[in-house]
Structure 1
Amino acid sequence: MAQPRVVARDRRDQLGEGPIWSARDGAVYWTDILSGRLNRLTLGDDRVESWNIGGYLGWVIERERGGFVAGIDRRIVTLDLDGPRIETLAELTGEDPGNRVNDAKADRHGRIWAGTMPVAADRASGAFYRLDTDGRVSRVDRGYRIANGPAIATDASHLFHTDSGLRTIFRFDINDDGSLGERMPFIVFEQGWGDPDGMTLDADGGLWVACWGAGCVTRFTPDGNRDRSIALLASQITSCVFAGQALDRMFVTSAAVDVDEPLGGALFEVDPGCRGLPALGYRG
């Protein structure tokens, strides 16, 4: 693919986020957080569908037993698109009432790691949580203004998590009991790189980061060096996911909020020149 492709549809996302690849459905799902909508692109026919879920819909992750788990406002729910039907799985108790969920990923053990942030992104009141397969929720870190983009090593030995407000991607070791080791800065974004947003790992250990404000996705090598970027015709790039049977296609979300851009809020497809890792689901 020589140039990024704009996926044809009849609307733009206010805050597109959280793309996931569903091999089960042969589709990419992603959210529009501010509109409370879930979108689906079926790769076989390029058909786009949308559901009005409501609330601040931060993320969805497939549930291995069927359906999805989703983050809405300050709770984690099960989601069945037949209806849709929503049931609360866990409340994020102790969260500031001005906070909302923002981004999440599952690991090889079937757990979910999810961040929160203030709706206004104006203070460090957000936190980072782990949802275990028995439904228990543990707060594993705190003090985030814009919690973003977990990316988790395939062996679940460590993960990356971002505070976009600090323009820093942190690395954490994951202990055997699921607690996190020390928060260590891994990549600090330089001027002109934008702000780090959603992330995903490729099969070679490269870290792909959506660069809010810089109109691109950027790959970093396993040791944290900036490798290459793919430019897009929207400034507010929010997240990315590998998709397709061979995991060699990449889809990128963006946001239209607060900008006047023809392609702000579009879903893009780019050629990453590499393969991604299989999507993981929640085992609870």
Structure 2
Amino acid sequence: MARVRTIARDRRDTLGEGVLWSARENAVYWVDILGQRLNRLSLADDSVDGWDMPDVLGWVIEREERQGFVAGLGRRFVRLTLDPLTVETIAAPEDERHGNRFNDAKADARGRIWAGSMPFGCDQPSGSLYRLDTDGRATRVEDGYTIPNGPAIPPEGGFLLQTDTARNTIYRYTVRDDGTLADRTHFIVFEDGWGHPDGMTFDAENFLWVACWGGSCVARFAPDGQLDRRIALPASQITNCAFAGEGLDRMFVTSASDGIDEAEGGCLFEVDPGCRGLPPYRYRG
């Protein structure tokens, strides 16, 4: 049985998400979307600190050439710095969709960001998938999502996996050279008893790790989409996972406490994945 550790701290997340490994700081960042907060765990001493945000915060991604982050804040792409907190809008592609917010995102090997938006009510397909190019231009590349999660993008960048949690489906897209998407297929459709697919990431063996909302676990899938194994966790609403540490052999997993009464719902967990991960890409703009 894989080792699971609950990170000690003085609060739980309403909707933990967006876990990110920062090699620069030897730290793990993650967000509490509905709690409007950015958290940071130092791997040097296990200390946890955080920053309150002016709006719901879906994710943060480090910048390649500069300190600070690009973030999904409310319905905007923003540049975000800490200590002091500053927020600068890059693009606002969802201004007309007042009931939406950003939910999850990843950078790819070209330094672009792929980010999904969704309705606050999780009840209609008003969400989209966007590509934020390095020049700051945001393009809607797919529409009709209800709860977009991920994506997961392999180092070679030839395809992209994107989840719609509401449909229990992880889709696979071909990524063209110009950044458009094509050839959408159903890569993994979750079976009864698995929970619902949420955030995800690849490991160094090209296996896919998926956080299972309602499934109390993270699950590992082979490159052909077959279920390989699961790691059980002491909370039901598991939301995201990422590899961290100098050897990228530690996995940190977020969860949510919203709407449930569980002792460890909303906690951050560390699990022993038994494999190594891949370093996260940074935004090159």
For 1:199 and 1:52, the matched residues in 2 are separated by 25
> The residue matched to 1:102 in structure 2 has which SS?
strand
Determine whether 1:19 maps to 2:19: yes
Following superposition, the deviation at residue 228 of structure 1 comes to 0.3
What residue number does 2:87 align with?
A: 86
Amino acid at match of 2:84: G
Deviations 1:216-265 (A, max 9, x none): 00000001000000000000000000000000000000000000000000
* Greater shift in the superposed pair: 169-178 or 92-101: 92-101
Task: Give the match's secondary structure for 2:111.
Answer: coil
Give the CA deviation at 1:94. Answer: 5.5
Q: What is residue 164 of structure 2 aligned with on the other side?
A: 163
SS of residue matched to 1:265: coil
CA distance in 2, matches of 1:228, 1:89: 40
Which residue is equivalent to 1:114? 115
Q: How does 1:127-166 map onto structure 2 within 5 Å?
A: 127-166=128-167
Distance 1:3 1:29 in 2: 21
Is 1:44 paired with 2:44? yes
Aligned to 2:242: 241
Indicate how the Cα distance of structure 1 residues 24 and 42 shifts in structure 2: closer, same or farther if over 3 A, else same.
same
Which whole-Å deviations, capped at 9, do the CAs of 1:163-222 have from their partners, x for residues lacking one? Answer: 000000000010000000122110000000000000000000000000000100000000
Q: Distance in 2 between matches of 1:177 and 1:210?
A: 30
Q: Aligned partners of 1:253, 1:2: CA distance in 2, in Å?
A: 17
Q: Where do 5+ consecutive residues of structure 2 fail to align?
A: none
Residue 90 and residue 230 in structure 1: after superposition, are their counterparts in 2 closer, same or farther (change >3 A)?
A: same
Runs of 4+ aligned residues of structure 1 deviating over 6 Å after TM superposition are none
Question: Is contact 2:126-2:143 (8 Å) kept?
Answer: yes
Shift of 1:18: 0.4
When normalised by structure 1's length, the TM-score is: 0.99
Whole-angstrom distance in 2 between the partners of 1:202 and 1:16:
21
> Can you list the C-alpha shifts for 1:103-149, whole angstroms capped at 9, x where unaligned?
00000000000000000001000000000000011100000010111
Distance 1:3 1:111 in 2: 34
CA contact (8 A) 1:6 1:267 kept: yes
More deviation, 237-246/65-74: 65-74
- Secondary structure of the residue aligned to 1:183 is strand
The answer to whether 1:55 aligns with 2:55 is: yes
1:249-260 equivalence runs, <5 A? 249-260=250-261
Report SS of the residue matched to 2:166: helix
Partner-residue secondary structure (3-state), 1:181:
strand
CA distance in 1, matches of 2:207, 2:41: 25
Structure 1 segments unaligned to the other structure (5+ residues): none
Q: Contact between 1:35 and 1:54, CA under 8 Å: does it hold in 2? A: no
Matched to 1:38, the amino acid is L
SS at match of 2:139: strand
Post-superposition offset of 1:155: 1.2
What root-mean-square deviation, in Å, do the aligned CA atoms of Structure 1 and Structure 2 show? 0.9
8 Å contact 1:148–1:162 — kept in the other structure?
Answer: yes
CA distance in structure 1 between the aligned counterparts of 2:251 and 2:95, rounded to whole angstroms:
36
Q: Which residue of 2 aligns with 1:203?
A: 204
Give the Cα–Cα distance (whole angstroms) in 2 for the partners of residues 30 and 81 of structure 1: 14
TM-score, length-scaled by structure 2: 0.98
Distance 2:182 2:95 in 1: 22
